[in-house]
């Protein structure tokens, strides 16, 4: 079963998630910037996309949490 917030199945090829491959290719700082931009995007459109903004708010939180993990040097 796909978890559209934490681990969307369409973001994984084999056992590697896209964000992990991006970090390997572009580095941690680039991914932190990516996380900031995505959190902003989900917050920006949360009330515009659906009747309930809950999923977009959860996705924004996921990207903020990922940014914090990267800042602390954690991998998850």
Percent of the chain at pLDDT above 90?
Answer: 61
Minimal CA–CA distance to 31: which of 19, 41, 42, 47?
A: 19
pLDDT tens profile 17-43: 889 999 999 999 999 999 999 999 999
16 in any annotated domain: yes
Half-sphere exposure of 14 (CA within 13 A, CB side): 3
22 in any annotated domain: yes
> How does the average pLDDT of the chain come out, rounded?
87
3 in any annotated domain: no
pTM attached to this predicted model? 0.80
14 in any annotated domain: yes
CA–CA separation, 72 and 68 (whole Å)? 6
2 in any annotated domain: no
33 in any annotated domain: yes
The domain tally of the chain equals: 1
Is the distance from CB of 63 to CB of 39 less than 8 angstroms?
Answer: yes
CA–CA separation, 44 and 29 (whole Å)? 23
- The reported pLDDT for the residue numbered 74 is 77
Confidence of residue 9 (pLDDT cuts 50, 70, 90): low
Task: Print the domain residue range for 51.
Answer: 9-72
Q: Is the pLDDT of residue 11 over 90?
A: no
């Amino acid at each position: 079963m796909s978890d559209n917030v934490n681990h969307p199945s369409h973001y994984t090829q084999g056992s590697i998630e896209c964000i992990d491959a991006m970090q390997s290719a572009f580095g941690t700082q680039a991914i932190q910037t990516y996380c900031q931009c995505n959190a902003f995007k989900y917050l920006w459109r949360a009330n515009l996309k659906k009747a309930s903004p809950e999923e977009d708010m959860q996705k924004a939180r996921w990207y903020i949490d990922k940014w914090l993990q990267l800042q602390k040097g954690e991998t998850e």
